A and B are shown apart, each in its own frame.
Chain A
């Protein structure tokens, strides 16, 4: 790790100030991806602005038919939240499956989506549930937030503050983990709200995407039997020693079926 200046603000305003003052500042949320990245010397920020003490970014509440999760809420807190479990159990179960227990105690939802790892779970959760990302500057629909490989719509100095999830009628998340890293080879969040069905896929491609063909089939008949093949272009999917593009494409369909079955209880 290269050395850096370390800052630990206690308010969002202070955090933004620290970030602006730094020559090449980097926000740190739970650090569960950032610290390993720093250890490998893949990044060299001049300053780290740790959001760990910014209490206004923590907590889960219900607000007008949506769950609002503060950016610095840990995966373990989401997984254990009675409110989440009663309103969107799929979100609790997604959080329960991220990383391992120790990572879940530190890793946060804001950190996860700001990093936008193509194999992370939360991007599928946000897009699948039609979430809105709140930042210190604006509100961004999840569909527009995840731009590409490790890329988001966040501007320089913009910090995720909360994510609001509309409460669906039904939803479930099904993940096929990489046996080594336990990140998603394919993860699918399926949600039904009124006549709208959303199917968001992580792990399979360079970033989270919606499978519109499957959404179409499910809109008319929300059952596992209605899930056909994924419409994803195999050429655009990831392929590596753990899973070829063709296998990932197949798994999209299988995981979607499993998610739909789970959502239907």
Chain B
């Protein structure tokens, strides 16, 4: 029987192991004879490496080997590639200079890998790493994206430090719209650099088996198959048949564990070279230096409106910091995941966006929760808010006036996307009701009476999740397909293993996917097992990022379930002596239509593996694989409203209320979805209020630990009030949209809009630290 679990807040099946200390993360695993790896990292942002003297370090106790870039070059280990080639405004491919796992000539950011020390114990490797003497000749550093062009050159291959100069939209059409404008609102804004900080630091263990010539790499990866593809096809040349990658329990990713990193590449190569397993786990300080960072945009935006406040056109000019090297998917983040979102929920007829991507002496920047979409939403929801203030129009009303209406779907935006469904007013209305918008003036007056400044901020966001379809992204420069695979493998006793290409690192797939399977196939949920994270077990797959797992991975599971049901009907027809066309599948039973003759899924599975009485032309077994390539993105959208109270004496901002109303289409497990919303908001608030990755002029990371990089703590945040509206996605079998990134996308402008509302100003840069807020409060008070 189907358990009816879809739509229910089923408690998570993975929690037992995590709650009892039985989770198995990479650093929890050990291999016989393993060596510890410690990296010698550059203390300089930019320098020529003149010499590496390892003589003394080699004498240190326990040291087995020390390798530098030329050792990897000897073995023809290649550069870490960028997987998405952007074509610039002149039709030329972007500049993708080499990124070697251990540098060959120059270091280009603080933390760049110069050498690796392998020793019997971690303590010995650390002791010896200090003794490696590197002779650097320092070069001028360039850290600011706004000043990168013309500053110290990082790569000969990229003149002016320019990776690409790219455009989307029709410039002439936008200029035409602006020429007719009644009012133009302009803003300059910065999207601050963030450091992802999944709580589990990255780690790798690599082992080579001389008996099989095969490698195994345990990695903290969100997408082990993509990692294998990159390592096999572009970096090491190890055939995919000889490289097994296992990503076991992974403690959060948020994008930072999508990428193929230098450290795991070095471990993989070195384990064969030294003939022993090699392990490495980042300490947090290394994570700060060497994980791919997020955001770091500088933008000028202009919005043209007619006399009714209807949007006529949007012009955006952005410089995006790529960091020192082009990380795997860095190039697509400020282009196809950014500019394409600039229509937002609005029927702005024309949009033009120019993006210049530049190299600087900072850690590589790549996808981080939201990846391009938070940056777009921040630009748009800030300019709309500023416009409302300039026009003296209620910000909710200005948004409503410009929303795409429910009867306009499917809606073709001027920036390439086709939205399938949505009802933006429904989310706005529900959010306004939940926050008691009508009562805000009274609450503000009450705050004022206590000497506090109160503000309210809106964010009507849209997000494109489950990037697709493969043919389209391929035409835009993607080096990979963006489908997903699933295998539904029944066992003879009626239990079923689901092998999914999606990877869970907190999202609860073992529960959500089980609910889908239990409901679809009518098997008890406890009979469903979800297997993920192992290229040795699971068909080629694409992994988890961009809020794609349920919409794409779940759809692949649905498709494989469909194949199982089709085959089951043939078996049932034979057993029940009926024609296949007459077999109906419902509630886990195959029934001859109009009769009570029936076989259960378990009986069919048993028969498939013990085929004594079986159709002659049918293969035994009940094990089906499916691949699903979506027809379109999914477009979750909604409205978040934030209310803050500021203490003008100190500049401390307290979030006093947060309402999130999201449309994620059909929801399989509301408990898990709400949890995703909470976590997303916390990261968005982190960006807007607390977090900032800061390099000084010389390229030193001055927010290199939790002493200076401000992570959101429990007492920084309120409880959140989450509501839902629903327009089902039209093009996937589950009707679902992504939910993992929504909070991180919606939250920053909602928060900044609230703070600037409280202060009565047009704009302030993130993060809204107490000192910044205090200074602005002083200025606002002085101006009155």
Chain A contact residues, CB within 8 Å of chain B: 1-3, 41, 176, 179-181, 241-244, 247, 250-251, 254
Contacts and interface: CB of A to CB of B under 8 A. Distances in A.
A181 B709 CA distance: 8
Contacts, number: 40
A180 B769 contact: no
A243 B771 contact: yes
B774 A241 contact: no
Contact of A241 (B650, B703, B716, B770): B703
Given A41-B130, A242-B771, A247-B771, A181 B649 contact: no
Contacts of A2: 127
Contacts of A3: 123
Given A180-B703, A180-B706, A181-B707, 5 more contacts: A3-B123, A41-B130, A176-B650, A179-B710, A254-B650
B209 interface: no
B708 A242 contact: yes
A247 B774 contact: yes
The 8 closest A-B pairs by CB, nearest first: A180-B710, A181-B707, A247-B771, A179-B710, A254-B649, A180-B708, A243-B771, A241-B694
Contacts of B708: 180-181, 241-242
A80 B708 CA distance: 30
B688 interface: no
A250 B773 CA distance: 14
B702 interface: yes
Interface string B731-772: 000000000000000000000000000000000000001110
B485 to A, nearest CB: 42
Contacts of A247: 771, 774-775
B38 to A, nearest CB: 12
Interface of B: 123, 127, 130, 649-650, 690, 692, 694, 702-703, 706-711, 716, 769-771, 774-775
Contacts of A180: 690, 703, 706-711
Contacts of B770: 176, 179, 243
A104 to B, nearest CB: 15
A62 to B, nearest CB: 34
A251 B650 contact: yes
Contacts of B775: 247
Contacts of B769: 179, 242
A179 B707 CA distance: 9
6 contacts: A2-B127, A41-B130, A179-B770, A180-B706, A180-B707, A244-B771
A179 B650 CA distance: 13
Nearest to B709: A180
Nearest to A241: B694
A131 B47 CA distance: 52
A179 B481 CA distance: 43
Nearest to A181: B707
B331 to A, nearest CB: 30
A247 B769 CA distance: 12
Nearest to B690: A179
Contacts of B711: 180
Nearest to B778: A250
B463 to A, nearest CB: 28
A244 B774 CA distance: 12
Contacts of A176: 650, 770
Contacts of B703: 180, 241
Contacts of B709: 180
Contacts of B694: 241
A3 to B, nearest CB: 8
Contacts of A242: 708, 769, 771
Contacts of B690: 179-180
A179 B768 CA distance: 12
A180 B709 CA distance: 6
Contacts of B707: 180-181
A247 B774 CA distance: 9
Task: Give the most central of A41, A179, A247: most B CB within 10 Å.
Answer: A179
Given A1-B123, A2-B127, A254-B650, A181 B771 contact: no
A181 B706 contact: yes
Q: Identify the interface centre among B127, B649, B692: most chain A CB within 10 Å of its CB.
A: B649
A180 B706 CA distance: 6
B702 A250 contact: no
B749 to A, nearest CB: 21
A228 to B, nearest CB: 14
B57 to A, nearest CB: 15
A180 B127 CA distance: 30
A250 B123 contact: no
A202 B587 CA distance: 69
A83 B649 CA distance: 34
A176 B769 CA distance: 13
A41 B711 CA distance: 24
B330 to A, nearest CB: 26
B783 to A, nearest CB: 19
Nearest to A257: B649
A47 B435 CA distance: 60
Nearest to B283: A39
B131 to A, nearest CB: 12
A139 B410 CA distance: 81
A226 B382 CA distance: 42
Contacts of A41: 130
Contacts of A244: 771
A182 to B, nearest CB: 8
- Interface core residue of A3, A41, A242 (most chain B CB under 10 Å): A242
A164 B420 CA distance: 72
A241 B709 CA distance: 10
B357 to A, nearest CB: 26
B377 to A, nearest CB: 24
A179 B772 CA distance: 13
Nearest to B650: A254
B155 to A, nearest CB: 29
B654 to A, nearest CB: 13
Nearest to A247: B771
Contacts of A1: 123
Contacts of B706: 180-181
A106 to B, nearest CB: 18
Most buried by A among B127, B769, B770: B770
A180 B691 CA distance: 9
Nearest to B711: A180
Nearest to B712: A179
